[in-house]
Amino acid sequence: MLYIGLVSGVIVGNIAAHAAGLDALRVYIATIVLIVPALAGARLLYVVVEWPIYRQNLRRIWDRNDGGYIMYGGLPLALVVSVPLLRILHLSFPAFWDVAILTILVGMIFTRVGCLLNGCCAGRPSDTWFGLYLPNPKGVWEKRIPTQALESAWAAILLICAVALRRSLPFPGALFLFVCLGYASGRLVMEFVRERKPQASGYSVAHITSLAISLLSVSYLIIYWRK
């Protein structure tokens, strides 16, 4: 599902680049290159959060069969790497990320379906009417809140809204900021219904990251909108 998400996202990004009047080949090259730091950052954040598991066997960190990514780790590293890369390719930073965020949303739709099938990022046990009989990463099957499906649906809603609004936004980069704000706000809410380890603290890395992204997005929107 991760592979399907990446391929689908790149295709959508290519279509969006043509629609935005960008050099689609350069956007394609930048996207392919940035997938590497994005996946590496997502993996490294997962390893940091789950360090007690990996410190005993460092070889497991890059074991592709081991699984484990936190998507929030991918975006910061990809943003940093994109600064020199986009300069080399003569692409506008805000214009590129207005396109790339659509690629990310499409990838997320499929990737979260993979999470649902695998049991990772499982929701809390629940007897509510919308609960589904699902496993967690340990293979324990219970009726749970389908957080992975909810996040996939939220990404789809954001994608539809982004496509509908992309021509009426006030400045380049605004689409990226609006989507970041929308996703982080939704993720912050959904994080409260995810299953947590018994010894886990009240707030996770995702809580803090979602709040930080929301505040940064609002701040940049206010600053650049005034200009």
Would you place residue 200 in the very low, low, confident or very high pLDDT band (cuts 50, 70, 90)?
low
pLDDT (mean) for 34-47 = 89
**What is the dihedral sign for C-alpha 4, 34, 184, 63?**
positive
Q: pTM for the complete prediction?
A: 0.88
136 versus 79: the higher-pLDDT residue is 79
Count of Cβ atoms closer than 10 Å to residue 160 Cβ: 11
Task: Give me the mean pLDDT over the 48-73 stretch.
Answer: 76
Residue 199 banded pLDDT, cuts 50, 70, 90: low
* pLDDT of amino acid 55: 80
Q: Say how far apart CA 24 and CA 14 lie, in whole Å.
A: 6
- Locate 225 and state its tokens: 């909108």
Label residue 10 by pLDDT band (50, 70, 90): very high
Position 31 confidence tier, pLDDT thresholds 50, 70, 90: very high
For residue 101, pLDDT beyond 70: yes
For the cut 70, the answer to whether the pLDDT of residue 196 exceeds it is yes
Strand, helix or coil for residue 12 = helix
Domain total in the chain: 1
How many angstroms separate the first and last alpha carbons of the chain?
A: 41
- Split at pLDDT 50, 70, 90, the class of 97 is very high
Residue span of the structural domain in which 157 resides: 2-226
Burial group, residue 27, by CB count within 10 angstroms (0-12, 13-18, 19+): buried
Both structure tokens of 221: 């929107």
How does 49-59 read in b/e, with b if 16+ C-beta sit within 10 Å? Answer: eeeeebeeeee
> pLDDT tens digits for 136-185?
888 889 999 999 999 999 999 999 999 998 888 889 999 999 999 999 99
Whether 97 contacts 112, CB under 8 Å = no
